Amino acid sequence: MRILWLCNIMLPEIANQLSLEASRKEGWLTGLFDRLMRSQEDAETAGKEPKIELGVCFPATEAFGKYTGEMEREQGGKFKAYGFTEKLLKAEKYDPKMEKRFEEILEDFDPDVIHVFGTEYPHVRAMLTAAKNMGKGSRVALNLQGICTEIAKAYRADLPDKVWKRKTFRDVMKCDSLPKQQRKMEIRGDAERIAIRKTAHVIGRTAFDKNWVQIQNPNVKYHVLNETLRPVFYDGSRWSAETCVPHRIFMSQGDYPLKGLHFVLEALPKVLEKYPDTVLYVAGNSIIKSSLAKGPSRVTGKLKLESYGVYIRDLIKSHKLKDHVVFLGSIDAEEMKKQYLQANVYVCASTNENSPNSVGEAMILGTPAVCSRVGGISTLFAENADGVMFVPEDIEGLAGAICHVFAGGVAVEMQTAHARAHALSTHDPEANYRALLKIYDDINLCI
């Protein structure tokens, strides 16, 4: 069966072979790709034809926008790679030239199933149009990630008016204030709803996304596929209360309001009253890093701050948290795993998520977790059984949940053990691989 993937990132394997910088986003996609490639390797070892022949479309700059080539991995497995040109940072703008590129790709690869990851980018519309033009419209399956329509609604994340309406020098120069960021997400949501209404197959994984899809398109065929995490999280590593750093909090991201970093900073003083040595570690892009520079670059750094970055900096200053917050910057999967294992608790404080991989990564390692009660998280993370949940805006509740984990005891031990078992089932690579093959078979048989 010939399967064509349409991705919104350049897979690390492709980036490495083209000597380009690899993306650290969409780690679950890397996990799924790795399993498909291993299936090819297993088939080759057994002297059999691989069940799946894979083609991968990836967004690229003009230099690689027409790239077409066979790629073979050192570890085994091969696939065909196709570049297309798109500016993902301006995803609200549509370029009809992508339709022609996708028609070329469809003619060259002739897929049985077209698996589109994500729903909100212009390339999704272009692929749907190209597939229809090439008589392959019924072969497209849209794989849900976040739900942009719902993300837009929750984007403000209870920010004060002065923060929401403020425009820093950076915001003015980039024409990228917080309301404009929200508006861009609304535009993506509009594109997302149109795409859902134009497709026959949708792949999701939570009660939250299934309900949303059925409202948009009651006639769509909904397929369930849980996510496979990055390979490093399956090596048997286990969190331990004896080896973690006491009173260390870890967040996997915090560079825009939806992720709720400001809620955690507001809760931190209450935690410090009971546990004065508490330190919060935040991975991902540091939105205040440029303002912390020394010397002449400090002034330039301050000019680069967006309104949310100013708010985060001010919260740290007003609550005297300078010695209690560490921004790690962008880190790879191995370093992420290290941070989960060192943390006393992982916190997901988002105001909307569908199925954050970071929650699954924490759970599969057995790291105690505290999660916001929003979106599809409850499908992945069973309240009380797997850990504590809270309403994002409830600062007292968040602080209490963190302190509950810090206190430890039998209840926390039971929750982490249950969470690990739950995650090992949800993110089982073999079960998810079999489910994926069944989805491909079902779509192919529907033609």
Residue (of 144, 280, 161) closest to 201 by Cα position = 144
Mark whether 221 and 266 lie in a shared domain.
Answer: no
Q: Would you state the pLDDT for residue 447?
A: 62
Neighbours of 404 (CB within 10 A): 18
Q: At what angle do helices 178-198 and 207-216 cross, to 10 degrees?
A: 70
Check whether residue 115 and residue 261 sit in a common domain: no
Specify the number of domains making up the chain.
2
Considering the domain architecture, whether residues 29 and 173 belong to the same structural domain is answered as: yes
Q: Would you state the pLDDT for residue 24?
A: 65
- Please give the pLDDT value at position 302: 75
Contact 81, 6 (CB under 8 A): no
Instruction: Please check whether residues 208 and 265 belong to one and the same domain.
Output: no
- pLDDT value, residue 356: 94
- Residue 307: CB atoms within 10 Å: 23
Print the SS3 string covering the chain. Answer: CEEEEECCCCCHHHHHHCCCCCCCCCHHHHHHHHHHHHHHHHHHHCCCCCCCEEEEEEEECHHHCCCEEEEECCCCCEEEEEEEECCHHHCCCCCCHHHHHHHHHHHHHCCCEEEEECCCCHHHHHHHHHHHHCCCHHHEEEECCCCHHHHHHHCCCCCCHHHHHCCCHHHHHHCCCHHHHHHHHHHHHHHHHHHHHHCCEEEECCHHHHHHHHHHCCCCEEEECCCCCCHHHHCCCCCCCCCCCCCEEEECCCCCHHHCHHHHHHHHHHHHHHCCCCEEEEEECCCCHHHHCCCCHHHHHHHCCCHHHHHHHHHHHHCCCHHHEEEEECCCHHHHHHHHHHCCEEEECCCCCCCCHHHHHHHHHCCCEEEECCCCHHHHCCECCCEEEECCCCHHHHHHHHHHHHHCCHHHHHHHHHHHHHHHHHCCHHHHHHHHHHHHHHHHHHC
Task: Check: CB of residue 213 under 8 Å from CB of residue 220.
Answer: yes
Asked if residue 224 and residue 314 are part of one domain, the reply reads no
| Domain membership of residue 406 as a residue range | 234-426
Do 111 and 258 reside in the same domain of the chain?
no
Can you give the pLDDT at residue 95? 82
Q: Enter the tokens of residue 435.
A: 């489910």
42 and 188 both lie in a single domain: yes
In this prediction, residue 34 carries a pLDDT of 87
Q: Which residues are CB-neighbours of 255 under 8 A, at least 6 positions away?
A: 261, 284, 285, 286, 287
Distance between CA 307 and CA 178 in Å, rounded? 7
Are 263 and 398 in contact, with CB atoms under 8 Å apart? Answer: yes
28 and 229 in contact (C-beta within 8 Å)?
yes
Q: Are residues 265 and 402 in the same domain?
A: yes
Pair (153, 264) in one structural domain: no
Say yes or no: 168 and 67 in one domain. Answer: yes
Token digits of residue 269: 């003083």
Residue 85 structure tokens: 């040109």
Taking the C-alpha atoms of residue 259 and residue 269, their distance in angstroms, rounded to an integer, is 19
Write down the pLDDT at residue 39: 85
In this prediction, residue 42 carries a pLDDT of 75
pLDDT of residue 86: 84
Burial environment of residue 255 by CB neighbours within 10 A (0 to 12, 13 to 18, 19 or more): buried
pLDDT at 426 (0 to 100)? 97
The CATH number for 129's domain is: 3.40.50.2000
283 and 380 fall within a common domain: yes
The rounded distance, in Å, linking the Cα atoms of 185 and 179 is 10
Whether residues 432 and 422 fall in one domain: no
In order along its 447 residues, the chain shows pLDDT tens digits of 999 999 988 999 999 999 888 776 666 788 888 888 888 877 777 777 778 899 999 999 888 989 999 999 888 889 999 999 987 666 667 888 899 999 999 999 999 999 999 898 899 999 999 999 999 999 999 999 999 999 999 999 999 999 999 999 999 999 899 999 999 999 999 999 999 999 999 999 999 999 999 999 999 999 999 999 988 999 999 999 999 999 999 999 999 999 999 999 999 999 999 999 999 999 988 777 655 555 555 566 678 899 999 999 999 999 999 999 999 999 999 999 999 999 999 999 999 999 999 999 999 999 999 999 999 999 999 999 999 999 989 999 999 999 999 999 999 999 999 999 999 999 999 999 999 999 999 998 876
